[in-house]
Amino acid sequence: MPKTATIAVRIEPEVKREVEKILSKVGLSTAEAVNVFFRRVQLEKGIPFDVKIPNEETRKAIEEARAGKGKKFRSTRELIADLNK
């Protein structure tokens, strides 16, 4: 079947640039990636990944991170050491 339908989407320019760089590294154009996504939605009869509302603890952590609060680590090793305490 010929591809004749079109979609127009508004997105932040920086998000578009970053995603296009990633897609080009895996050999996909934006249109091809959207087609892959739509095919997966069609096959799975829904979004092909979990879309969840974060619980209260996660929402609080997100808000703290956005506000610049919380622990900061210089390396993953330092993070893991803190987690193992």
Are 17 and 40 found together in one domain? yes
Kindly indicate the confidence band of residue 3, based on its pLDDT and cuts at 50, 70 and 90.
Answer: confident
User: How many domains in the chain?
Assistant: 2
Q: What is the DSSP annotation of 25-58?
A: HTT--HHHHHHHHHHHHHHHTS-SS------HHH
Give 33: exposed, middle or buried? Use CB within 10 Å, 0-12, 13-18, 19+: middle
What pTM, to 2 d.p., does this model score? 0.59
Residue 17: domain span: 1-50
| pLDDT tops 90 at residue 26 | yes
For residue range 34-54, list pLDDT tens digits in order: 999 999 999 999 999 988 888
Angle between helices 30-44 and 13-25 (to 10 degrees): 80
| Ramachandran category for residue 70: left, alpha or beta (phi over 0 → left; psi -120 to 50 → alpha) | left
Q: Which residue has the higher pLDDT, 22 or 2?
A: 22
How far apart are alpha carbons 36 and 82 in whole angstroms? 40
Tell me the percentage of the chain whose pLDDT exceeds 70: 100
Are 42 and 63 found together in one domain? no
Are 11 and 36 found together in one domain? yes
Are 57 and 18 found together in one domain? no
Are 42 and 70 found together in one domain? no
Are 27 and 10 found together in one domain? yes
Are 4 and 39 found together in one domain? yes
